[in-house]
Amino acid sequence: MPERTIYLDHAATTPLDARVLDRMMPYLTSEYGNASSIYTIGRHAMQAIDRSREQVAETLHCRPSEIAFVGCGSESDNLAIKGMAFASQKKGNHIITSSIEHHAVLHTCQYLDRFGFQTTYLPVDEYGMVDPDAVARAITDQTILVSVMYANNEVGTIEPIAEIGRICRARKIPFHVDAVQAGGALPLDVAELKVDLLSLSAHKFNGPKGMGILYTRQGMRILPQLQGGSQERGRRAGTEDVASIVGAAEALRLAYEELPTAAPRIALLRDRLIEGILEIPRTRLTGHPTQRLVNNASFAFEGVEGESILLNLDMLGIAASTGSACTSGSVEPSHVLIALGLSSDWSHGSLRLTLGKKNTQEDIDYVLSVLPGIVEKLRGLGI
């Protein structure tokens, strides 16, 4: 067993970059002023937030005023969807999304049912792709929002966002993109993508946990979902978490600065991992073979329980994830694997390995040296 954890769950969260922590430290210690206060340390806090907003806007190719800092990726999704829905009630009540969205989107749409909204959940193909033509066909005169994720958190499939964006723009339908898994990995030029609302979460790109970002295109009206002070131009009440805002902006900047060198290296490791794991009998790759996040290697093994694989990997120091979760005593495959059309023999045996900057070839070799034996053993035991 290796001395350190081999961390292969970067889609769940990532470690905080030491350089990001350095930038945050003053705002966790000496620079503790409330950004709304007019004395010197308050102004310092506001200046730090303003600089961070400009930094994020540079990456997204938008105006700083279009960026709001919120409490997490889930809050960003909630604010975009509920905010747009409640602001558009007079125009219509129809929302379009995909069946493989994160629960932050799906549960928000379900919640809106209670207020008279109706949601169309578009199916995906066997690779998890949303068909832009299906989006176009689903639009009615009642449609007030389309929400499709940039990249899927379980299987890593990258959706045709720019194409869907073109369709929505032509039909004048606001388009929200959950880019939580794409942040730090895929281009975020909101003008090119033709998105109107875009959600990010800092802990997915080596920033702090509990910090989300929402881009709202100028002219889009959303109703705030937290009432109180007028922080974030009235879009989100609450005293700003200056340290985390500074950390999120620095983490995003570093992620895109380092992407050209990090991405090919991570892709190479991922491809070795995929090649090695597909040698295990009765194994298949889940998600798109090419249109997938560079760090995502996800699989289904026939006739095994994903949770059993995880526990065995954990005992050997490897942190990974599965799309099957134990709910009320029985193991259920995720809505994503079901939407991909996997039969239950396969969907119960899913494994997601997501790489990060610190992973090495030795990590991959180690996984490949232990995983085939684990799968074989579990198949033998029938679990």
Ligand X SMILES: Cc1ncc(COP(=O)(O)O)c(C=O)c1O
**Residue with smaller CB distance to ligand X, 213 or 364:** 213
Q: In what order do the strands lie in the sheet with 67-70?
A: 67-70, 212-216, 197-201, 175-178, 143-147, 94-98, 118-122
**326 in active site:** yes
Calculate ∠ Cα 156-161-162, nearest 5°. 140
Binding mask 191-220 for ligand X (x = CB under 6 A): ----------x----------x--------
Binding mask 67-106 for ligand X (x = CB under 6 A): -----xxx--x------------------------x-x--
- Of 78, 93, 181, 295, the one binding ligand X (CB under 6 A) is 181
123-152 positions binding ligand X, by CB under 6 A = 149
Q: How far apart are CA 54 and CA 52, in angstroms?
A: 5
User: Residue 91, CB half-sphere, CA atoms under 13 Å: how many?
Assistant: 16
Q: Which residue is nearest to ligand X (CB)?
A: 73
Q: Does 153 bind ligand X (CB under 6 A)?
A: yes
- Of 178, 196, 241, 305, the one binding ligand X (CB under 6 A) is 178
Beta carbon of residue 211, minimum distance to ligand X (angstroms, whole number): 8
| Phi, psi for 342 (deg, rounded to 5) | -70, 135
User: Residue 253, CB half-sphere, CA atoms under 13 Å: how many?
Assistant: 17
Compute CA 81 distance to the chain's CA centroid, rounded to the nearest angstrom. 16
| Helix 18-28 vs helix 242-277: crossing angle, to nearest 10 | 160
**Residue with smaller CB distance to ligand X, 96 or 104:** 104
**Residue with smaller CB distance to ligand X, 77 or 240:** 77
**Residue with smaller CB distance to ligand X, 72 or 144:** 72
Helical (H) or strand (E) element with 376: helix 361-381
Beta carbon of residue 291, minimum distance to ligand X (angstroms, whole number): 16
Q: What is the DSSP string of 85-122?
A: HHHSTTT--EEEEETT--HHHHHHHHHHHTTT-EEEEE
Beta carbon of residue 11, minimum distance to ligand X (angstroms, whole number): 6
Instruction: By CB under 6 A, name the binding residues for ligand X.
Output: 72-74, 77, 102, 104, 149, 153, 178, 180-181, 201, 212
Write out the catalytic residue numbers. Answer: 326
